[in-house]
Amino acid sequence: MGIFDFLSGEFIDVIQWTDDSRDTMVWRFERHGHEIKYGAKLTVREGQAAVFVHEGQLADVFTPGLYMLETNNMPILTTLQHWDHGFRSPFKSEIYFVSTTRFTDQKWGTKNPVIARDPEFGPVRLRAYGTYAVRVADPARFLSEIVGTDGDFTTDEITFQIRNVIVQEVSRALAASGIPVLDMAANTGDLGRLVARAISDTIAAYGLEIPELYIENISLPSAVEQALDKRTSMGIVGDLDRFAQYSAAEAMTEAAGNPGGGGMAAGLGAGMGMAMGQQMARQGPWGAAPASAAPPPPPVEHVWHIAENGQTTGPYSRARLGRMASEGTLGRDTWVWTAGQDGWMRAGDVAELAQLFTVMPPPPPPAAPGA
């Protein structure tokens, strides 16, 4: 091997990272003791960032593009090395490629139930789970705060901490929301956005951001869900007597189809059948209790209007007209009208009012002569 071949093998002149994994967040470019050639080509693809670390200090950060590594492209590294513009020698630095794409379908869930106060059911225990997406927003901060010197950093190393942050805020949001349990399904979108905003500052301190956070489900304990299902079933059934008959018939069918139950099962089925038959006999042919005859509606009392001298007065009840007849202010020739009557009529011609005048005593007989 010639000296030129040896030297060319010792220097790195192309720096790039092609990644086909779906969980690698940071990858360190391996120099294997080689030095980086001055003027080497650095390729940073879309969805990547390259961070130079020189002697343990963060130096320059490169966004997507093609770069020639020279002093004018590396201002921080040039300052750290006290390079002048005439520098042309190779140098040693660690290069970390950071993926800035979204890592989607990350799972989160409450390990323990969250105690919340429901306005209808009282204290309830809730569980929630969902997914989120995370991406590196500040490569330098993420490298210094989380990655350190890890040369192959994956999502598994950070998602546990992010889950803890999400679950803490979800627990607080559920407990303080005041949303009824039965209405939470309609508000998961708003709750997800609320949680994402609440954790944004904490996540930003890691150099990350959460562009998406979804609450897929909020559930109750199984015992409460069973009770809720029964309550829903009762609302659907409506008639509890008919539901009891249906349940008894189902029990009879199940007992008859259970040969292992023996005589006990048959006796139970027969007893329930007899009870159901007696109940249905009492209720009628269609299982409905005979309805008692409803009393007739009370008669509608007429009210009357009186016309005198071109003016109308009233309305008056029949009792009031009776008092007026006894007082002499209502006579047989007085014009009266009530709803349903065809025009004005004399009071004496109305059958219902004619009785008011027949109960009046006749005029007294003339006095006896000489009395």
| pLDDT score at 24 | 93
229 by DSSP, 3-state: which?
helix
Q: Are residues 204 and 249 in the same domain?
A: no
- Which strands sit side by side in the sheet containing 11-15, from one edge to the other? 11-15, 35-44, 65-68
Whether residue 290 is contained in a domain is answered as no
CA–CA separation, 273 vs 150, rounded Å?
Answer: 75
The count of structural domains within the chain is 4
Question: Which residues make beta-bridge pairs with 127?
Answer: 219
Q: Is 10 part of any domain?
A: yes
Give the residue, 366 or 334, on which the prediction is more confident.
334
Which pLDDT tens digit goes with each residue over 94-138?
889 999 999 999 999 998 888 888 887 788 889 999 999 999 999
In a domain, 288, yes or no: no
Question: CB–CB of 68/116 below 8 Å?
Answer: no
- Residue 205: pLDDT over 90: yes
pLDDT at 253 over 60: yes
Mean pLDDT of 73-79: 76
- Vertex 316: Cα angle to 314 and 320 (nearest 5): 135
Please return the burial class of 224, using the count of CB atoms within 10 Å of its CB with bins 0-12, 13-18 and 19+.
middle
Is the residue at 291 inside a domain? no
Residue 228 domain-assigned? Answer: no
Q: Is residue 158 part of a domain?
A: yes
- Sequence-distant (6+) residues with CB within 8 A of 183 are none
**How far is the C-alpha of 58 from the C-alpha of 54, rounded, in Å?**
6
Q: Which residue type does 70 have?
A: E
pLDDT tens digits along 128-170: 999 999 999 999 999 999 998 888 999 999 999 999 999 999 9
Question: What average pLDDT does range 301-319 have in this prediction?
Answer: 82
Q: Domain with 178 in it: what CATH number?
A: 3.30.479.30
Beta bridge partners of 204: none
109 and 210 share one domain: yes
Task: Note the pLDDT of residue 84.
Answer: 58
- What residues pair up with 50 in beta bridges, in sequence order? 62, 97
Q: Alpha carbon 274 to chain centroid distance?
A: 47
Residues 121 and 219 both lie in one domain: yes
Residue range(s) defining the domain that contains residue 195: 103-223
Question: Which of 81, 99, 117 corresponds to the end of one domain?
Answer: 99
